[in-house]
Every structure is written in C-alpha cells, then in structure tokens.
Amino acid sequence: MIRLGRKSRRGDFEGRKLAKMGPMSHSSTFLLPNLPTDNGPALTYALVILNQRLPRFTPLLWEHAQVHVCADGGANRVFDELPCFFPHDDPSDIRKRYKPYAIKGDMDSIRTDVLDFYRGLFTTKHG
C-alpha cells in the first residue's frame, strides 16, 4: 500500500512498478456499427445512464445499445439534456425517441414530472 506523504517501507518500488506498466489504452470499438462477425452474432450492449451530465456522444451510444436503463436520477438527465443535442427538433419528439427501457432505483432523485412523463410512455419502473 502506498500512503501519500510518507515514504514506503519498500522504497520507490511501487513507482518503478507503475512506470514499467507502460501506456494504457482503451477501446472504443463499441461505437462502431454493430456488424456480425463470421464466427458468430454481433455484440450487444446495454447503456446505463447515471445522474451526471451526459456527454455529447450520448446519442451515438444510445443508437448502438440494445437496452437503455436509467439509474433513478439519470432519467432527469435524459429528459433534460438529450433535447439540447438536437436544437432544431421538437423536445417532445426527442424525449419520445430516446425513451429508456427501464428506470431502476429507489426513486429519490427522479423528479415527479419526469417520472410521470415516462410512465405515460410505458417505461418499466423498478423500485
């Protein structure tokens, strides 16, 4: 364990170990079109929306995911922020197009107006 502000009993071993790891890389292949491979079916993805600001590429993630679930207050984010990505479209149309399959959580963060809207669109709510 490395403690900040103190020298490790093992000296600088942890720092050397981290330096030897090399650069990290992350894959974004899940953003590519979902084409089946020769060896089997295409990969499937679920998108879980949390109660934090949505990145600009959320619509792209949405299109590639087969299941869309909001974790409680994440439904507020979808309701409020997704229409902002399409300023020339009717916000109501965007909210209907980007409808989560389910809203899961203890429902302490979701606003009543948002919950009522999605209930009207038959979104499954799991409390």
CATH at residue 55: 3.40.50.10240
- Lowest mean per-residue pLDDT among 19-23, 58-62, 97-101: 19-23
Host domain of residue 102: 45-126
In a domain, 101, yes or no: yes
Cα separation, 127 vs 124, in Å, equals 10
Residue 54 lies in a domain: yes
**Higher pLDDT, residue 98 or 18:** 98
Stretch among 13-17, 93-97, 100-104, 118-122 having the lowest mean pLDDT = 13-17
Which carries the bigger pLDDT value, residue 125 or residue 92? 92
Residue 44 banded pLDDT, cuts 50, 70, 90? confident
pLDDT beyond 60 at 2:
no
Residue 20: inside a domain, yes or no?
A: no
Contacts of 45 (CB under 8 A, 6+ apart): 30, 34, 64, 65, 66, 67
- Whether 5 maps to a domain, the answer reads no
Q: Is residue 35 part of a domain?
A: no
Q: Is residue 12 part of a domain?
A: no
Q: Please report whether residue 21 resides in a domain.
A: no
Is residue 29 included in any domain, yes or no?
no
Q: 51-92: per-residue pLDDT in tens? A: 999 999 999 999 989 999 999 999 999 999 999 999 999 999
- Residue 92: per-residue pLDDT: 96
Residue with the two structure tokens 């679930």: 69
How many distinct structural domains can be found in the chain? 1
Instruction: Identify the pLDDT of residue 45.
Output: 83
The pLDDT score that the predictor gives to residue 5 is: 41
